[in-house]
Structure 1
Amino acid sequence: MVYIGIILFPLGWVLNSSFKTNKEIIAFPWSFPHEWLLSNYWNAWTGAHVSHYFTNSLVISVISAVMTLILSTSTSFALTRMKFPGLSKVIHRVLLVALLVPAGSLLVPLYMLLRSMHLYNTPLALILPYITIGLPLSVFMISAFFKSIASELEEAGIMDGLSIYGLLWRVIVPITVPPLIPVFMLNFLSNWNEFMMANLFLPKEKFRTLPVSMVAFYDQLNMNYGSLCAAIMFSLVPALLIYVLLQKRIIACVKA
């Protein structure tokens, strides 16, 4: 209970402050608002263009997470269910090395590569690196689930005339949907909260993501702490929605 309280305390303080005026936040930081202001949320959503940055982050994060899930699922199936003498070990080691490389060390090479490919300052400047960085861990996680599936199911699918793609998407994937959901959530939340690459590769305001826009709130909101706290609450919406909508599958995966 103490641990949960420590985790939830900052969230509760931000939520409480999002309904206050600047004077109340400064003078009475620990008290409840004298008047619960919804105008902070409206100011953040419209005045600071949080709606635009929110949409940018949502589109980039969803596309990156979905593509990572598709590619990692296909790769995991090939590595665990198909035989490639020698090549499988090479791919496995390459993915292991990629997993050990910190993302921060890739910023300069990625910057130069994106500039040379004329992708800098476009949504692909984030989508492609997010997919690449999320792929190794996703492959290892999904491969562990695929190894636990009985080979008799594949043999039955082959007897029914399924191709290799039909076997994957009509037999294997439906069985492993609960384990695939945490992989999607992990990649989505990682992309949603990412700051360094978004700040470096997408400086144009038109494509700016929500985490990067928080830095610019000093000028946009003229130090309106209430609206800033409201913007932070908006950034929590996707994570909360994902958990509420998918909680049954997440619990089923944990029990399994």
Structure 2
Amino acid sequence: MKTQRKANSLRGTVQHAILLVYIAIILFPLGWVFNSSFKTNKEIIAFPWSFPDDWLLSNYGNAWTGAHVSHYFMNSLVISSIAAVMTLILGTSTSFALTRMKFPRLRKVIKRVLMVALLVPAGSLLVPLYMLLRSFHLYNTPLALIMPYITFGLPPTVFMISAFFKSFPNELEEAGTMDGLSIYGLLWRVIVPIAIPPLIPVFMLNFLSNWNEFMMANLFLTKEKFRTLPVSMVAFYDQLNMNYGSLCAAIMFSLIPVVLMYFLLQKRIIACIKA
């Protein structure tokens, strides 16, 4: 028994040590960027690993107003939020139809189409999407990103939500039908309220994917007034004449939605993981 306890204790210690090393590797670049966001260019270049002599809050003001990060931030927030919400609504409706309604032949076709869509890399569709957006006069409009984001986010969303809907007992539908609910009332008044815990992580995954996306944003939105935050980082050097401190401050601004979303929704995320 003592040998087994020692082995379990050693195993737990090793696992925690590996986890701590992993966390340190993940947090180190973030800590370096945060530290550098308060430095001058000279300090960053000459003393990259030291703390700043004077903690410059002006880098954040310079990035937010001087480099128009506030404008790009709102563009990213609006586009990412709309696309994530629409993906969740369409994905939830599709998942409900595929798992709770009876149309076996069409259901197999839809599932196969979604499975194929999962296997197609987004990069291979950039040229066809570019031509399609130009032909529909959507190029250089917010819809040029919102619609592709919904399209690429829908297949994984459907499969994730479907896995949860399959576990729902049929008695819920029977009870809702006896109360006179339509198929839409059954979905939005019975199923969705119960499914909120797993729907929140799905929304977060789609939002963060849209928020960090660069390739399509760089190709489909060339007008500066529609530019998103990841794309604006590329032109940051020219706008601020190689101001690394303000660039690091802009990177910290890009983390705000991620951090806020986690702190506001962490209880539901943990509850979903435990379930």
Per the normalisation by structure 1, the TM-score is 1.00
Aligned to 2:101: 82
User: Structure 2: which 5+ residue stretches go unaligned?
Assistant: 1-19
CA distance in 2, matches of 1:148, 1:169: 17
- The answer to whether 1:229 aligns with 2:248 is yes
- The answer to whether 1:127 aligns with 2:146 is yes
**1:205-220 matched pairs, under 5 angstroms:** 205-220=224-239
**1:1-256 matched pairs, under 5 angstroms:** 1-256=20-275
CA distance in 1, matches of 2:103, 2:138: 34
Shift of 1:218: 1.1
CA distance in 2, matches of 1:101, 1:246: 31
Q: What are the Cα deviations for residues 83-142 of structure 1, in whole angstroms up to 9, with x where unaligned?
A: 113000000000000011001111000000000000000000000000000000000000
- Quick one: which amino acid aligns to residue 190 of structure 2? V
Return the index of the structure with the highest Cα Rg. Answer: 2
The count of residues paired between Structure 1 and Structure 2 equals 256
CA distance in 2, matches of 1:3, 1:87: 45
**Structure 1 residue runs of 4 or more that deviate by more than 4 Å after TM superposition:** none
Identity of aligned residues (%): 88
Aligned to 2:6: none
Q: What are the Cα deviations for residues 180-239 of structure 1, in whole angstroms up to 9, with x where unaligned?
A: 001000000000000000000001001000000000011101000000000000000000
SS at match of 2:255: helix
CA distance in 1, matches of 2:107, 2:144: 29
SS at match of 1:40: helix
- Quick one: which amino acid aligns to residue 219 of structure 1? D
SS at match of 1:35: coil
CA distance in 2, matches of 1:183, 1:100: 19
CA distance in 1, matches of 2:257, 2:123: 25
CA distance in 1, matches of 2:98, 2:172: 17
- Quick one: which amino acid aligns to residue 21 of structure 1? T
CA distance in 2, matches of 1:251, 1:170: 24
CA distance in 2, matches of 1:146, 1:85: 17
CA distance in 1, matches of 2:239, 2:253: 16
Q: What are the Cα deviations for residues 140-172 of structure 1, in whole angstroms up to 9, with x where unaligned?
A: 000000000111011000010000000000110
Q: What are the Cα deviations for residues 11-51 of structure 1, in whole angstroms up to 9, with x where unaligned?
A: 00000000000010011100011110000000000000000
